[in-house]
Amino acid sequence: MNILIKNIKELVQVEREARIKVSGHEMANLETIKDAYLLISDGIIVGFGKMEELQNTAKANEIVGFEVIDATGKMVFPSFCDSHTHLVYPASREIEYIDKIKGLSYEEIAKRGGGILNSAMKMQEISEDELVESALQRLNEIMKMGTGAVEIKSGYGLTTDSELKMLRVIKRLKSLSPLTIKATFLGAHAIPAQYKSDPTEYVDLIINEMIPQVASEDLADYIDVFCDRGFFTVDDTDRILNAGMKYGLRPKIHANELDYSGGVQVGVKYNALSVDHLEYTGDAEIQALLGSDTMPTILPGAAFFLNMVYAPARKMIDAGLPVAMASDFNPGSSPSGNMQLILSMASILYKLTPEEGINATTINTAYAMDLSEELGSICVGKKANVFITCPIPSYQFMPYYYGSNKVETVILNGEIQSLS
Ligand code: NIG
Ligand code: FE
């Protein structure tokens, strides 16, 4: 399919040369073109520029046979990339949410066998088909809100069979959904009740049984560990990442959500693609990240939903780091995959400018999924994953007008998606 989008009020996040990520003060820059066109052919962005350039005859001849979309008054953005989710899960957990409102902490709920262990219990019973069906609905929901690529973790299995079941579901989603999907093995998400007295035994199971099987079925792109107080220690994490590395699994780590856990440092040590959460980030963590290839990723939805301290995003950017922001869509700590809301939170809660917020949710989250060469900006040669907004006055309106869906048309892989 060939598409020409014309009369675009403003084409946002354009790049003449593809960058893999944006760091520090550069995050404040966002290139846009007013009164623009965008050309898409066979799933790829093949051209863009100002409308007046399109009107010259040479270009006009090239676009014969293109489906034309008139975007007068509307803007075009690259689709959001959501580099951290747990959107394959068996059931919602709104009862715990009530406990939380009544004052129980995330850790107290986990200690009572709620939280992740609650999801893991239900995961044993549910079929692959049921999981695929509910996850497809969630993928459809986030697609309508502008997400075009998403990472999905296992981690509600916590037995070899259940972890493999989750990862097989994610593999099926990759072929069923128009979104670009990456899979992460998160066997080390929580310590199952029967291993409470000897967590090392569970770590051994992950290393000796789960990782080899995940690798032999080629079910995961990445490996994750919840390296935090009350969950997995730095030593556990070190062993697990070392074992994963032998199978070519690059880490993406849950780190420093509950404490200065050492998660950031061990992630950097293993060249993690990203370290995520980061509420407890001080000078030592910033120093460890500077000069590394690891993307610091903040999850505003979880911090907001759990009423936690907010990661020092401003300080991180001012120190020269890149920052990405993802949804953490999951039933326990962030039951929303709405990246427009994450963009608003970037500004409201973390004091990022709209330009920084857009960089944090597109190109930098694409990097955190190892996809920034093909996604995350409007660039010739990249995959045509874009959305057209409803009529809006400015791109700053996107974070400002929080809570409602400003996405009107979604194009993924160069195809217009039905949003029913
Ligand atoms: O990213 N922090 C650890 N894991 C998830 C929570 C998952 C859950 O509570 O179900 C998170 O917030
Ligand atoms: Fe998470």
* Domains, the chain, with CATH or none: 2-78+377-416 (2.30.40.10), 80-367 (3.20.20.140)
Pairing mode of beta strands 75-78, 386-389: antiparallel
pLDDT of res. 59: 62
Cα distances (Å, whole numbers) of residue 154 to 193, 243, 273: 18, 17, 17
Mean of all residue pLDDT scores within the chain: 96
For residue 247, the SS3 value is coil
Q: Closest residue (by CA) to atom 8 of ligand 1?
A: 332
Residue 420: which pLDDT band, with cuts at 50, 70 and 90? confident
Instruction: Kindly give the distance from the C-alpha atom of residue 33 to the centroid of ligand 2, in angstroms, as a whole number.
Output: 35
Residue 64 has pLDDT above 80, yes or no: no
Instruction: Kindly give the distance from the C-alpha atom of residue 256 to the centroid of ligand 1, in angstroms, as a whole number.
Output: 12
Instruction: Kindly give the distance from the C-alpha atom of residue 198 to the centroid of ligand 2, in angstroms, as a whole number.
Output: 24
pLDDT in tens, 169-196: 999 999 999 999 999 999 999 999 999 9
- In ligand 1, which atom is closest to the CA atom of 226? 3
pLDDT in tens, 200-215: 999 999 999 999 999 9
Please state the φ and ψ torsions of residue 186, each to the nearest 5 degrees: -125, 55
- In ligand 1, which atom is closest to the CA atom of 119? 10
pTM exceeds cut of 0.95? yes
Residue 60 has pLDDT above 70, yes or no: no
User: With pLDDT > 70 as the criterion, what percentage of the chain qualifies?
Assistant: 99
Residue 111 has pLDDT above 80, yes or no: no
For residue 15, the SS3 value is coil
pLDDT of res. 109: 85
Pocket of ligand 1, beta carbon within 6 A: 86, 115-116, 119, 226, 254, 257, 302, 328, 330-333
Instruction: Kindly give the distance from the C-alpha atom of residue 116 to the centroid of ligand 1, in angstroms, as a whole number.
Output: 7
Residue 57 has pLDDT above 60, yes or no: no
Strands (DSSP E) contained in 257-354 are: 274-277, 295-298, 324-325
- In ligand 1, which atom is closest to the CA atom of 110? 9
Q: How far apart are CA 325 and CA 327, in angstroms?
A: 7
Q: Residue 151 CA: which ligand is closest? A: 2
Q: Which residues contact 57 (CB under 8 A, 6 or more apart)?
A: none
Asked if 257 and 237 count as a contact pair (C-beta separation under 8 A), the reply is: no
Asked if 151 and 88 count as a contact pair (C-beta separation under 8 A), the reply is: no
pLDDT in tens, 45-54: 999 999 999 8
pLDDT of res. 58: 58
pLDDT in tens, 115-139: 999 999 999 999 999 999 999 999 9
Q: How far apart are CA 244 and CA 38, in angstroms?
A: 42
Residue 234 has pLDDT above 90, yes or no: yes
